[in-house]
Amino acid sequence: MYLVQFLLLSAVLFCIGVYGVLVRRNAVLVLMSIELILNAVNINLVAFGAFNRDVGAAIPGEVFALFIIAVAAAEVGVGLAMVLTIYRNRKSIDLHQVDLLKG
Amino acid sequence: MMPAVLAAVVAQNVFFYLIASIMVYAALRVVTSSNIVHAALYLVVVLAGVAAQFLLLGAEFVGITQVLVYIGAVVVLFLFGIMLTRAKVGSEDNLDHDNRWPAILTAVMLVLVMAYAVIDFAGDSEIAVLDQSETTVQQVSDAIFSTYIVAFEAISVLLLAALIGAIVVARKE
């Protein structure tokens, strides 16, 4: 296996996630796209770790990926709580309608 | 190259491209599906594919954690969020912006730049075939609880803060 396979897969997933963040109007779908981006980063970390296994980088790569999984779980929890609050106050999670800061 | 090692490399490549194509298709469905529940279920496919890639890379602990945390917890949280924020089940037509060409342009340009940089940087770097007898679980736990103990404690506090924060934010007045 070549390192570039994993990096290209990760780049494609990342950009699909960016497209989702830019184009979706539903807040839950935007959070899902952010999960795609975080997973792309994780593939990169583990692939670089496996590539540099002979200099002892495999373990730090895996540990960093685990930390990112934990942070992503925390982020989803808080993000969905915020989405719920927005829904409760405005009866909609359409991001076009969350424009209180617009003059 | 030894025949056994060659067979392992061929099998790894076959499975990589199989899983990668499924993942890319499912990821595209996540961002284009007009049914929000279907998008969440396609997200499961992508996350399982990521776990499979971790296994291919010899990171079995991360792969299993991926299945437990993402597929077990995060997707369920998403489904709860979907159910709590909308009663409607079925496809909808207003999930996307009306004007999607700037987003397509941004994503395509980004993937082109990243693909060029990645191929230029790691064009023919090969990942060594893993010795099947060695597992990394013990080394990962050793590293977490010695070298990265401060980061581990910080993550614990972060999770606690996120838990309390989520309850406080989502609580009814």
Domain that holds residue A57: 3-96
> Is A62 inside any structural domain?
yes
Q: What is the CATH number of the domain that holds A91?
A: 1.10.287.3510
What global pTM score does this model have?
0.91
Nearest Cα to Cα of residue B74 among A92, A45, A80: A80
In a domain, A63, yes or no: yes
CATH architecture of B1-88: Up-down Bundle (1.20)
Please report, as a single letter, which amino acid is at residue B42. Y
At B89 the pLDDT is 58
Does residue A34 contact residue A11 with C-beta atoms inside 8 Å? Answer: no
Query: What confidence category does residue B131 fall into, taking pLDDT thresholds of 50, 70 and 90?
Result: low
Is residue A73 assigned to a domain?
A: yes
Half-sphere exposure of B23 (CA within 13 A, CB side): 28
Q: Does residue A78 contact residue B160 with C-beta atoms inside 8 Å?
A: no
Structure confidence at residue B28 (pLDDT): 95
Residue A26: beta bridge partners?
A: A94
Domain count, chain A: 1
Mean pLDDT of B35-63: 93
Are the beta carbons of B97 and B103 closer than 8 angstroms? yes
Query: What one-letter code names the amino acid at B54?
Result: F
pLDDT at B87 over 80: no
> What average pLDDT does chain A have?
90
- Considering only CB atoms, A59 lies closest to which of B47, B122, B139, namely B139
Three-state DSSP class for A72?
helix
ipTM: 0.91
Handedness of CA A25, B84, B50, A68 (dihedral sign): positive
Mean pLDDT, residues B159-173: 89
Return the pLDDT at A40.
95
Tell which B residues from 10 to 69 touch A, by Cβ distance under 8 Å: 12-13, 16, 20, 23-24, 27-28, 30-31, 36, 39-40, 43, 46-47, 50, 53-54, 56-59, 61-62, 65-66, 69
Model confidence at A100: pLDDT above 90 = no
Residue A101 domain-assigned? no
Average pLDDT value for residue range B51-73: 92
Model pLDDT, residue B133: 65
Chain B: nearest CA to A55, how far in angstroms?
A: 12
CA distance readout (Å), B162 to A74, A75, A76, A96, A100: 5, 7, 9, 26, 25
| Average pLDDT score, chain B | 88
Does any CB of chain A come closer than 8 Å to the CB of residue B94? yes
